[in-house]
A = this chain, B = another copy of it.
Amino acid sequence: MTETHLARLYKEYIACLNMQKWSDLGRHVHDGVVHNGKRLGLAGYQAMLENDFASIPDLHFNIELLVADSRFVASRLAFNCTPRGRFMNLDIDGLTVSFSENVFYEFTENKILRVWSVIDKAAIEAQLPGARQPR
């Protein structure tokens, strides 16, 4: 893996999330950030992340794979965590689940401008009691 400039910036962003150092988020995320086609803006993006940590107190972002070029970062994030109540429209309710998120980021001016995230919901479902195995 080539340690590109964006790969380094991305690791600093993930460290910021894991420290929940929200006062630094604007150093990593653009004011006009768009997440899965929705223009959240920095405040909306921070609110989404704060809500994630409130719903999942043991949330931790682990980078499993990282591919970067001069404009984009692609990352596979591994999670092992315990959502409270519902998560992704599923009744998790205190179960510890392992799942991945494959996510692309477009950077501009050294900040994340656009995010395209897919969370492996089928993998979570397969861990729930009475799960039917997805295809």
A residues contacting B by CB (< 8 A) are 1-2, 65, 67-74, 76, 86-89, 100-104, 116-122, 125, 132-135
**Dominant SS at the A interface?**
strand
Contacts A1-B69, A74-B74 given; indicate if A122 touches B125 (C-beta within 8 A): no
Cβ-defined contact, B68 with A135, below 8 A:
no
Q: Which of B70, B71, B89, B119 contacts A125 (CB 8 A)?
A: B89
Of A70, A88, A104, A119, the most chain B CB neighbours within 10 A belong to A104
Chain B: CB-nearest residue to A131: B89
Q: What are the residues of chain B within 8 A of A88 when measuring CB–CB?
A: 122, 134-135
Chain B: CB-nearest residue to A123: B118
